[in-house]
């Protein structure tokens, strides 16, 4: 896997011509205009280039899943306002017609959801659910689609695919179902794959299999991927660039080396300190973030993380904090008044070219 250095253009870097997907100031607001609206996504910007894996990390309620649904145009029509811009190869998706989106979904971009049992149709055989996509978007006839479906199932590692085509979702194990879902997503060779917590419902050993499959997919076919997860371990092994989300906004964005090596935002720092690690010496107490993700204030009044932040003071009560670039690393941005210090050892290595 390619490791990005800090010299490379980051997700918000200047090199936007080659970007496959550009998300710019995306906002999603729930609720009728008369009532107090909920800003689920509050100005999120990032871009994804071919063969790149971009991570969206956050806890429940951070807006990471809503972001992905907005990109795919899968949010309900009523009671939701989507603002900003999402461009796929320069084509604007926000406000595009349903017909355009239906044509693009499955063909140009596809999605893998968290729970395969509820995203597969329980009364249709797996085979039919794979060929459905192929028949909709390609010229393949029935026999051709069936053969292609069998090949797809084999490629995602489902043993005995010919027999499995006739199976219903309940006859497959959790890992197999997730593979089937990935097969459906890959059916038309999309250039962008959005994976929303694809391994959260799976056991560790099965998770490792599915992650390996996704990793291979990116390196072999150059598919771009948006990985949505709460698991920082998954991010560390898979993503090139990472966006940490909190309360609807990106609070830190960096290459994975920088994010894990020198986290600047206090939330990222807190998350890393609160997970028990296999490789840490035992007996080291965890340092949790106080409060819960629900203890938040509106970004329009102050930093939303302020109620839980260990270093909060009056300076933090600034409305609409900006994402500011790091002094030494241009593509490491954070939205914090009092960012965490860069350890001295890291600082010197960063300064030497």
Instruction: Give the interface with another protein as residue ranges (CB under 8 A).
Output: 1, 3, 59-60, 154, 157-160, 173-176, 203-209, 211-213, 230-237, 256-257, 260-261, 270-279, 282, 285-290, 292-294, 308
Question: Residue 67 or 207: which CB sits closer to another protein?
Answer: 207
CB of 126: closest distance to another protein in angstroms? Answer: 15
CA 229, 230, 234: angle at the middle one, nearest 5? 65
Nearer to another protein, 209 or 324 (CB): 209
**Interhelix angle 126-137/174-186, nearest 10 degrees:** 10
Region of residue 275 (left: phi > 0; alpha: psi -120 to 50; beta: else): beta
Report the interhelical angle of 174-186 vs 142-155 (nearest 10°).
130
Q: Cβ 116 to another protein, closest distance in Å?
A: 13
Q: For the CA atoms of 3, 6, 10, 16, what is the dihedral angle to 10 degrees?
A: -100
Give the total residue count for the chain.
Answer: 353
Using a 10 angstrom Cβ sphere, with 0-12 exposed, 13-18 middle and 19 or more buried, the burial of residue 80 is: middle
Query: Do the strands 53-57 and 38-48 form a parallel or antiparallel pair, or are they unpaired?
Result: unpaired
Both tokens of 268, joined, read 């990222």
**Is the C-alpha dihedral spanning 128, 131, 137, 141 positive or negative?**
negative
117 vs 140, beta carbon nearer another protein: 117
| Residue 188 CB, nearest approach to another protein (Å) | 22
66 vs 82, beta carbon nearer another protein: 66
Q: Are strands 80-88 and 91-92 parallel, antiparallel or unpaired?
A: antiparallel
Residue 279 or 314 having the CB closest to another protein: 279
| Residue 5 beta carbon to another protein: minimum distance, rounded to whole angstroms | 12
Shortest CB 246 distance to another protein, Å: 10
The residue among 10 and 106 lying less far from another protein, judged by its C-beta, is 10
CB within 8 A of 284, min separation 6: which ones? none
Give dist(CA 266, CA 337) in Å, integer: 10
Instruction: Give least dist CB 96 to another protein, A.
Output: 34
HSE (CB half, 13 Å, CA atoms) of 165?
18
Residue number with CB closer to another protein (119 or 209): 209
We find the least distance from the C-beta atom of residue 303 to another protein, in angstroms, to be 16
Strand order in the sheet with 80-88: 38-48, 21-30, 80-88, 91-92
Which of 278, 344 has the CB closer to another protein? Answer: 278
Q: How far is the CB of 279 from another protein (least distance, A)?
A: 6
Nearest distance in Å: CB 123, another protein: 21
Instruction: Between 57 and 224, name the residue whose CB sits nearer to another protein.
Output: 57
Phi first, then psi, for residue 243 (nearest 5°) are: -115, 120
**Two tokens at 21?**
């997907």
């Amino acid at each position: 896997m390619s490791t990005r250095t800090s010299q490379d253009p980051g997700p918000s870097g200047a090199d936007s011509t080659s970007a496959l997907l550009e998300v710019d100031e995306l906002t999603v607001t729930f609720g009728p205009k008369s009532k107090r609206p909920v800003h689920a996504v509050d100005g999120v910007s990032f871009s994804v280039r071919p063969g790149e894996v971009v991570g969206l990390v956050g806890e429940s309620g951070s807006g990471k899943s809503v972001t992905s649904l907005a990109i795919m145009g899968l949010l309900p029509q009523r009671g939701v306002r989507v603002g900003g811009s999402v461009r796929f190869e320069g084509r604007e998706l926000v406000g595009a017609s349903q017909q355009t989106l239906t044509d693009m979904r499955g063909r140009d971009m596809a999605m893998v959801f968290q729970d395969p049992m509820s995203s597969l149709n329980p009364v249709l055989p797996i085979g039919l659910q794979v060929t459905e996509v192929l028949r909709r978007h390609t010229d393949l006839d029935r026999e051709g689609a069936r053969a292609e479906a069998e090949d797809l199932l084999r490629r995602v590692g489902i043993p005995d695919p010919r027999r499995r085509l006739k199976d219903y979702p309940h006859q497959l194990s959790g890992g197999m179902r997730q593979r089937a879902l990935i097969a459906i997503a890959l059916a038309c060779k999309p250039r962008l794959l959005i994976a929303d917590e694809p391994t959260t419902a799976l056991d560790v050993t099965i998770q490792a299999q599915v992650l390996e499959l996704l990793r291979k997919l990116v390196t072999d076919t150059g598919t771009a991927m948006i990985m949505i997860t709460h698991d920082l371990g998954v991010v560390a092994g898979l993503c090139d660039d990472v966006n940490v989300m909190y309360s609807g906004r990106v609070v830190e964005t960096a290459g994975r080396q920088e994010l894990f090596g020198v986290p600047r935002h206090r939330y990222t720092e807190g998350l890393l300190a609160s997970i028990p690690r296999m490789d840490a010496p035992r007996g080291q107490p965890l340092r949790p973030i106080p409060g819960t993700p629900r203890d938040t204030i509106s970004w329009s009044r102050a930093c939303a993380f302020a109620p839980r932040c260990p270093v909060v003071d009056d300076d933090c009560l600034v409305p609409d904090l900006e994402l500011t670039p790091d002094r030494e690393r241009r593509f490491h941005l954070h939205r914090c008044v009092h960012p965490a210090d860069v350890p001295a050892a890291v600082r010197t290595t960063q300064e030497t070219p």
